[in-house]
Amino acid sequence: MTTETHLDPAVRHDMVFLFDVADGNPNGDPDFSNRPRMDEESGHGLVTDVAIKRKIRNTLPLAAGDPDRYSIFVEAGHALNTRLAETMTVNNIDTKKKRLTDEELHTARSWLTHRYADIRLFGAVLNTGDTKALGQIYGPLQVTNARSISPVVPQHHTITRITQTTQADIDKGERTEMGGKWTVPYALYKAEIYYSASRGTQTGVDTRDFELLYRSLEMMFDHDRSATRGTMTARGLYVFSHDNAFGNAPAQKLTERVRIARTGDTAEPPRSFANYTVSVDDDALPNGVTIAKLIA
């Protein structure tokens, strides 16, 4: 059976991912009271690559239903050193060894990349605690920060609650407690994702990994709902696939073919996806390059 090009782990892929937020905070900055992240010079909103990968990590196991191959290494409530020690123990390797043989290193890393989908896709730093001999695995999938198409003006909302935190507050006659939350009224964000086939071969990426990755990007906001994040929606996923591992054209010459423009009265701030048009120049693609429009 022939594998569709955008699912082929043996070739390079360059992707454009679009998503939006309405009346929510897509990625708060703890250094600024959880205000939505921004480029301070241009006013454009930002969502970090870490935030995007966190959502992928949370969604992949739900879509896969296979903990033996789609467990998550970087997961809340689980210590990394404990998992690395398990790797050594399962493969009968002394956890105190400062230097592993080539065979031991290959065995331990292969076990990790087979079991943990996020190591297989994103890589991981493994030289923590007593497992420094494991070094680092470089992942084939690189995600950029997402940047909003238009500048954003975050809004701060003061909120109250009628329940006090302590009995002493009640005894003092306090009736409400004040708080606050930040939102972006609306923003459309663009991120780029790059896949290196040579690294994917090293970590064991397969066709099903791509199927689940694309499905996770499409559905991950449906499994990450919260009042703080408002309404977040995947709006576009465009995959430029080469016919070899090295590639047939520079990535920017492909990703720049996805163009986003304002519609209507550009003097008014955008408030919905209808305020933009997305077009893709798929004419005269470089030889050996194809495009799959998976969310459009």
Q: Encode 16-65 in three state secondary structure.
A: EEEEEEEEECCCEEHHHCCEECECCCCCEEEECHHHHHHHHHHHHHHHHC
pTM of this structure = 0.93
With a CB cutoff of 8 Å and minimum separation 6, the contacts of 79 are none
Q: Which residue has the higher pLDDT, 18 or 99?
A: 18
With a cut of 80, say whether residue 129 has pLDDT above it: no
Closest CA to 285 of 246, 245, 241: 241
The answer to whether 237 and 294 are in contact (CB under 8 A) is: yes
Q: For the residues 17-44, what does the mean pLDDT come to?
A: 97
Q: What is the pLDDT of residue 223?
A: 94
Q: What is the average pLDDT value for the chain, to the nearest integer?
A: 93
With a cut of 60, say whether residue 1 has pLDDT above it: no
Cα→Cα distances 281→21, 164, 238, 267, 287, Å: 26, 57, 11, 27, 15
Q: What is the pLDDT of residue 159?
A: 83
With a cut of 80, say whether residue 178 has pLDDT above it: no
Placement of tokens 């005269």 in the chain:
284
Share of the chain above pLDDT 70, in %: 98
With a cut of 70, say whether residue 209 has pLDDT above it: yes
pLDDT tens column, 65-81: 999 999 999 998 888 88
Q: How confident is the model at residue 242 (pLDDT cuts 50, 70, 90)?
A: very high
The answer to whether 270 and 262 are in contact (CB under 8 A) is: yes
Dihedral angle at the C-alpha atoms of 141, 147, 149, 153, nearest 10 degrees? 150
With a cut of 90, say whether residue 278 has pLDDT above it: yes
Q: For the residues 234-261, what does the mean pLDDT come to?
A: 98
Q: How far apart are CA 36 and CA 27, in angstroms?
A: 6
Q: What is the pLDDT of residue 164?
A: 75
